[in-house]
Structure 1
């Protein structure tokens, strides 16, 4: 296992982190505890020392599971990260209530890395005004948390102000070769590192979609490489190639994925891919973009929409559905994110478009945005949307404490 240092505190962290969001499950949807425990402990036995979870993962069962999986001395071998469910915080005192409940659920007296979960501009402004910075200072001073950070899902332009707002130790961003300029993007990665934050990367495989199944047109390009690697290895190595990345999280579901990722992590040195190999990855990314149904570059020139429609997010989910499939997960995420449940804001579904035409003049790709939003609505807002929204509310809003 290779390790990289957290800039502010000197922690030597494994470049591969274990993400506890996609643990193996039984037919009834509950975590397959025996299988998952073996996977977590095998990863730790082979050098993984950063484990990441959050309040809503596995319907709230990920944190209690990890408490059991990290028994027998395993808790002392890792840095444990979990996240504040900021969308559920209504009053300042809720922050202490959730943290104390998480300490109990995880059966620990401290959280090594405590992150404010899933920030965008509006949710940051809300939790900031409720006093989250004062809360973090207090929780650090009394020892309940050791390091403070945030995870991010907003736009590139809103990332830097959050970085600058507080003396963060770490940030967690989505980053992969297909999302190099999405959300925080490469610019955010480099800026956070320049400010002394450790950077934890999530979704290096885009929820596994960059690993399997791979379109034949993409596989043809991978097969041109002089050194043969699996698509998963290419994707992970591309992220680790960036020296500003500290830890890459992988949400492993099967034991073979743990084995494969442990092996790949042995080679994950910064700058270890050649220029020729990096150009090959660029070609793969371009091929994926060619295969997309909509040629949206997520420049966000079309925003803000007068009706509140999150146009780029609608198009991103539509593209993902048609390239990668994974219909069940995407349908749920559409309901949760665009339904305002995760963002703490109003709904911004595609169907809210009134065809005012303001976006048409702004789009540099000259996309017929109102017509395309109709297609998105047809795909995602048919029968079952109401049920998915109710399920998402139960998943993300039931505080359970």
Structure 2
């Protein structure tokens, strides 16, 4: 296992995320298979993983309890435990103290090594920073008391949201967890977020390194391209090697759901093998081939001609994400907008199309996007 330095700690390069734990056969997401989970944690411990990431809402609220129970079999100083305050649900904003105490009890812990503001994004950033809720104030007091060792945040928000949170709390925050993989490098402009975090000297924690498993299996054509570069490297490993090539990445979390995935990923992290410039170019070609996006350049000619004053470049960026996979994150970003600024507000007048240098069919995109948002989303 490779290790990364963080605040005089040696963190395993790979962390075990507890969002996709094995569940009992035929059971619901809340019915975690504790026996299989225990075997996975044992294997992780035996092979050098020392970072375990859970959250209040994972597995319908059962992840913290199960992980706490399983980890209690090991000396507390032998691992690092991370969880998060569930501010993705706005009804929790005035419950930071009671939820924090509940989390300690569920995890059977006296302290958390790492604690995060969960999912800072457009809809909850104002409540997160609202002094009437006192969330930061309370968490800093817990840190001072030793019940939180390191404080950070996860962010699914867009660049401007990330920057705003850093501008406000950057001095208090020690790390940031973002969705980062070779597909979202362009699709969600993760590169700009990485550059921003490096500028603020905030270590990067990675979630969704394989895009929920979508980068674990590629088309035959793309598989052959990668194997021509590294014949002995499996396809999921390319996602991790990409991250080993990104400056500032300290922790890579993977939500592994069975022992086989854990064994394979642990083997990958036995050594660090960043990509060469040539290999990165090939991987970029693979990523580009997977994307079917509208080439909006954000020139904003369209916005000045829109009678509804829609932020068309932002909507098209979100639309491009939805074309790859309509996710809960995409839906949340749209729901954070006023109703009269969402894709459904487009009246199809085509005034925007008349001035678009790329000749994009924006009205058709807005209609399709609105329809996609009405469909159930995946993670």
TM beyond 0.5: yes
Runs of at least 5 residues in structure 2 that lack an aligned partner in the other structure: none
Q: CA deviation at 1:133?
A: 2.4
Q: CA deviation at 1:346?
A: 6.5
Q: Give the structure 2 partner of residue 395 of structure 1.
A: none
Q: CA deviation at 1:114?
A: 0.8
Q: Give the structure 2 partner of residue 249 of structure 1.
A: 253
Partner Cα separation in structure 2 for residue 73 and residue 233 of structure 1 = 29
**Selected match of 1:313 from 315, 318, 338:** 318
Q: Give the structure 1 partner of residue 236 of structure 2.
A: 232
Secondary structure of residue in 2 paired with 1:47: coil
Q: Give the structure 1 partner of residue 143 of structure 2.
A: 140
User: How many residues end up aligned between the 2 structures?
Assistant: 366
CA offsets 1:89-114 (integer angstroms, 9 cap, x no match):
55764111211111111111111111
Q: Give the structure 2 partner of residue 16 of structure 1.
A: 14
Q: Give the structure 2 partner of residue 161 of structure 1.
A: 164
8 Å CA contact 2:2, 2:12 repeated in 1: yes
CA offsets 1:238-297 (integer angstroms, 9 cap, x no match):
10122410010111012111111111001225xx322222222122112212xx2x4356
**Selected match of 1:355 from 348, 351, 373:** 348
CA offsets 1:133-166 (integer angstroms, 9 cap, x no match):
2222212112221111110111123322322322
Secondary structure of residue in 2 paired with 1:224: helix
Partner Cα separation in structure 2 for residue 215 and residue 350 of structure 1 = 32
Q: Give the structure 2 partner of residue 210 of structure 1.
A: 215
Partner Cα separation in structure 2 for residue 364 and residue 235 of structure 1 = 35
Q: Give the structure 2 partner of residue 286 of structure 1.
A: 288
Change (3 A) 1:88 1:118: same
Q: Give the structure 2 partner of residue 51 of structure 1.
A: 52
Aligned: 1:124 with 2:122: no
Aligned: 1:195 with 2:188: no
Aligned: 1:367 with 2:360: yes
Change (3 A) 1:74 1:216: farther
TM-score by length of 2: 0.85
TM-score by length of 1: 0.81
CA offsets 1:335-386 (integer angstroms, 9 cap, x no match):
962674xx6986986444333557647866443222123234444526xx5x
Change (3 A) 1:11 1:183: farther
Secondary structure of residue in 2 paired with 1:125: helix
8 Å CA contact 1:296, 1:312 repeated in 2: no
Query: 354-363 or 188-197, which moves further after superposition?
Result: 354-363
8 Å CA contact 2:114, 2:151 repeated in 1: yes
Partner Cα separation in structure 2 for residue 295 and residue 352 of structure 1 = 20
Q: CA deviation at 1:79?
A: 1.1
8 Å CA contact 1:52, 1:80 repeated in 2: yes
Partner Cα separation in structure 1 for residue 51 and residue 320 of structure 2 = 34
- How much is the aligned-residue C-alpha RMSD, in angstroms? 3.1
Q: Give the structure 1 partner of residue 270 of structure 2.
A: 266
8 Å CA contact 1:221, 1:283 repeated in 2: no
Aligned: 1:41 with 2:42: yes
8 Å CA contact 2:318, 2:330 repeated in 1: no
8 Å CA contact 1:41, 1:74 repeated in 2: no
Q: Give the structure 2 partner of residue 186 of structure 1.
A: 191
Q: Give the structure 2 partner of residue 5 of structure 1.
A: 5
Secondary structure of residue in 2 paired with 1:87: coil
Partner Cα separation in structure 2 for residue 38 and residue 298 of structure 1 = 49
Secondary structure of residue in 2 paired with 1:223: helix
Q: CA deviation at 1:119?
A: 0.9
Q: CA deviation at 1:197?
A: 2.1
Q: CA deviation at 1:191?
A: 3.1
Q: Give the structure 2 partner of residue 221 of structure 1.
A: 225
1:102-121, aligned counterparts within 5 Å? 102-121=103-122
Change (3 A) 1:140 1:217: same
